A and B are shown apart, each in its own frame.
Chain A
Amino acid sequence: MMEFPFALLVGLFFAAAVYLMLSKFLVRVLLGVVLLGNGVNLLIFTNGRILREVPPIIPDGHDVPTMLTANPLPQALILTAIVISFSFFAFLLVLVYRAYQDLGTDNGNEMRAAEPENDPLPPTGY
């Protein structure tokens, strides 16, 4: 029953991620997104069942594994997800840094460059 503590841990990751993402500061939101990605990776890992088998490596001179091996697919999925979330993290880091340089703030509430606060209404008459 190794799944139960892992499930709790996934829940903890999600809770921390949601808490961070509710912040108005972009750096914290970014960290929340990273935590969320890691929580999801752990979730996939747990969903692939946790078994005490040997790694799925075929020994020399054989074409098929000689004994029962662990499921390699969740690890392949997680590796893909890690690569993707890593590249997104790098991109968002650059983006947040640029936003801080250009807009002078990392507070989401003060970022009104695209949606100005006193946007005029459209004309009501012809």
Chain B
Amino acid sequence: MAASTADLSAAFLMTPVATADWLVVLPPAWCILAGAVLLMLRKSLHLQAWLAVPALAILVVLDGLLLSHVLANGPVTMVMGRWLPPFGIAFTADLTGVLFALAGAVVALAGAVYAIADIDGSGRRYGFYPFLLLLMAGVSGAFLTGDIFNLYVWFEVLLIASFGLITLGSEPRQIDGAIKYAFLNLIATTLFLATTGYLYGIFGTLNMADIALKAAAGRDSLPLMTLATLYLLAFGMKAAAFPVNFWLPASYHTPRIVVAALFAGLLTKVGIYALLRTLIMLFPVEREELSFVIALAGAATMIVGALGALGQSDVRRVLGYVVISGIGIMLAGLSLGSPGGVGGAIFYALHSMVVMTALYMAAGLMGRLAGSFDLNRLGGLYGRSALFSGLSLVLFFAASGLPPFSGFWPKVMVAKAALDIGAWWLVAAVFLTGFLVTIALGRVFALAYWRPAPEALPATAIPASLLLPLAALTALTVVFGLFPDALLSTIQAAAQGLSDPSAYIGSVFPGGT
């Protein structure tokens, strides 16, 4: 290639790349490397956790460094293989993407620590930790990529890793849950791919910054409404929005508890992130047209989730419906489209990642202490461990959106943004949901913790490696509930960056177009 005669500067980046820009690609690349090493060492069961936990700690550090870089310098872009955008596959990290990636890494680290005691030898031999790292590669890649087809590829990476995780153990009920999860998610991603095919046919480009530019320029003549609606359906299905939410309650209670915790924290939020990216950044005018539909879907998702949580006797299924009700609040924020609404959706997504993971971890401890997940049989947990009960109560309040925990602020933001445009019915739905979820989770507390144990429980100690991640995540929700100022201003900036993507576009096309 050295004997090249043509002028390559029209296609290739000729200036050297700053080492700091590598932070954009390192999170997914690091996860793939670490996951591959763990997969090669699958037989060394004792090594797995000792390698995976530091690897995920490094991922948290990388995402943290990327966040500080983006906070200081604005969005960062790197295009694979030295191609100039829009030809190469671009990785672009803006504030929204980095916030999601960092929260995801923190949740995964907590899950990896929890799994030390929760995943036994056979689960490790089957490859829990390699799958976890591949899942994180998919999740980080999806949050940081700036190319819509590449987003599809990362969706598939995280999907195949999640298939491996959900079938861990291979009990009949897990296979049943996995079948429903796998088929419906595969149909959703295929729909996403079909929409991306249409998008390519319309724009002739797949780079998100380029799409945003071309959509703004040719809004009157292009069939963008079709694209926006199809993306809403495809990503709505991934996010478990009503009426395409049925795969979630059918599958989230079947896998190992730590797998369920990671799924509840990570997977639906990737769908929400993709909705934010496409509907707010790429097709804002079309989102405005669709806003009533999205708001209705959001309100229905909230109420259906809250009612479903009231009607279940298995704690894990209660939590599955609580996840769905949270998705409804994010959709409501998305439908409003104002900085307050979008900021509320982002904040609620980050809050939900942390709190839902912690809640599933708490459910795992309930099952371990009381030997059951059934509300008809649970009881006496307060007598077993006052500390664990206190942590659980904080999490229940946070998930219900009660102050002073982190679930309160995003709900206030969404409600205020809804009141600003006079959508009182949406505000009513948000508060009704908060009320119903408080009842559902309050009942779990009353029955499982306060009620005397129906039968004498065997004495089981709580291993520190199970309590530690739970306590750490609970501490996060308390801290961000009590001191939300720094996070709020960051999230406002992130929402601003989505609504007005000129900084994002400027980072992809530094010289202008």
Contact = CB atoms under 8 A, between A and B. Distances in A.
Interface of A: 21, 26, 29-30, 33, 36-37, 39-40, 43-44, 46-49, 63-64, 73-74, 77, 80-81, 84-85, 87-88, 91-92, 95-96, 98-99, 102-103, 108, 111-115, 119-123, 126
B397 interface: no
Contacts of B250: 114-115
A102 B187 CA distance: 24
Given A40-B193, A115-B250, A122-B443, A92 B183 contact: yes
Question: In terms of DSSP, what is the predominant structure of the interface of chain B?
Answer: helix
B190 A111 contact: no
A113 B172 contact: yes
A105 B91 CA distance: 45
B175 A47 contact: no
B67 to A, nearest CB: 30
B176 A103 contact: yes
Contact of B194 (A40, A49, A87, A123): A40
A81 B193 contact: yes
B443 A64 contact: no
Contacts of A96: 179
Of all A-B residue pairs in the complex, the 9 with the closest CB atoms, nearest first, are A47-B201, A44-B197, A63-B6, A113-B176, A122-B313, A114-B176, A113-B173, A114-B177, A122-B375
Contacts of A88: 156, 159-160, 186
B254 interface: yes
A102 B177 CA distance: 13
Question: In terms of DSSP, what is the predominant structure of the interface of chain A?
Answer: helix
A108 B250 CA distance: 12
Interface residues of B, number: 49
Q: Give the one of B180, B201, B447 with max A CB within 10 A.
A: B201
Nearest to B447: A123
B312 A122 contact: yes
Contacts of A46: 201
A44 B200 contact: yes
Given A74-B200, A98-B170, A36 B6 contact: no
A103 B313 contact: no
A122 to B, nearest CB: 4
Nearest to B11: A64
Interface in B427-458: 443, 446-447, 451
B153 A84 contact: yes
Given A80-B153, A99-B179, A43 B194 contact: yes
Contacts of B314: 119
Given A47-B198, A114-B253, A121 B313 contact: yes
Contacts of B460: none
B5 interface: yes
B145 interface: no
B375 A123 contact: yes
B172 A43 contact: no
B167 interface: yes
A122 B376 contact: yes
B200 A33 contact: no
A27 B50 CA distance: 41
Nearest to B252: A114
A80 B253 CA distance: 33
Interface of B: 4-6, 149, 153, 156, 159-160, 163, 167, 170, 172-180, 182-183, 186-187, 190, 193-194, 196-198, 200-201, 249-251, 253-254, 310-314, 374-376, 443, 446-447, 451
A80 B190 CA distance: 13
Contacts of A39: 194
A85 to B, nearest CB: 8
Contacts of A112: 176
Nearest to A121: B313
Nearest to B183: A29
Contacts of A64: 6
Contacts of A63: 4-6
A93 to B, nearest CB: 11
Given A98-B170, A122-B443, A111 B178 contact: no
25 contacts: A29-B183, A33-B183, A33-B186, A33-B187, A33-B190, A36-B187, A39-B194, A40-B190, A43-B197, A44-B193, A46-B201, A48-B200, A63-B5, A64-B6, A84-B156, A91-B160, A91-B182, A95-B179, A102-B170, A114-B173, A114-B177, A115-B176, A121-B313, A122-B312, A122-B443
A125 to B, nearest CB: 10
Contacts of A108: 179
Contacts of B180: 114
A122 B377 CA distance: 10
Contact of A102 (B175, B253, B254, B446): B175
A111 B176 CA distance: 6
A73 B447 CA distance: 59
Nearest to B177: A114
Given A40-B190, A95-B163, A102-B175, 10 more contacts: A30-B183, A33-B186, A63-B6, A77-B197, A88-B160, A99-B175, A103-B176, A108-B179, A114-B177, A122-B312
